[in-house]
Chain A
Amino acid sequence: RKEVEQDPGPFNVPEGATVAFNCTYSNSASQSFFWYRQDCRKEPKLLMSVYSSGNEDGRFTAQLNRASQYISLLIRDSKLSDSATYLCVVNDYKLSFGAGTTVTVRA
Chain B
Amino acid sequence: SQTIHQWPATLVQPVGSPLSLECTVEGTSNPNLYWYRQAAGRGLQLLFYSVGIGQISSEVPQNLSASRPQDRQFILSSKKLLLSDSGFYLCAWRGANEQYFGPGTRLTVT
Q: How far is the CA of A89 from the CA of B99 in the complex (A)?
A: 10
Q: How far is the CA of A98 from the CA of B44 in the complex (A)?
A: 8
Central interface residue in B44, B49, B90, B102, by most chain A CB within 10 Å: B44
A91 to B42, Cβ gap below 8 A?
no
Stretch binding the partner chain, chosen from A44-52, A55-63, A65-73, A75-83:
A44-52
Q: Answer whether residue A32 sits at the interface, using C-beta atoms and an 8 A cutoff.
A: yes
Query: B residues within 8 A CB of A42?
Result: 103-104
Q: Given A32-B97, A91-B97, is A43 in contact with B102 using a C-beta cutoff of 8 Å?
A: yes
Q: How many residues of B contact A (CB 8 A)?
A: 18
Q: Answer whether residue A99 sits at the interface, using C-beta atoms and an 8 A cutoff.
A: yes
Contacts from A to B (Cβ < 8 Å): 4, 31-32, 34, 41-46, 49, 87, 89, 91, 94-95, 97-100
Given contacts A46-B99, A99-B42, 14 further A-B contacts (CB under 8 A): A4-B43, A32-B97, A43-B102, A43-B103, A44-B90, A49-B97, A49-B98, A89-B98, A94-B46, A95-B99, A97-B43, A98-B43, A99-B43, A100-B43
Contacts from B to A (Cβ < 8 Å): 36, 41-44, 46, 49, 88, 90, 97-104, 106
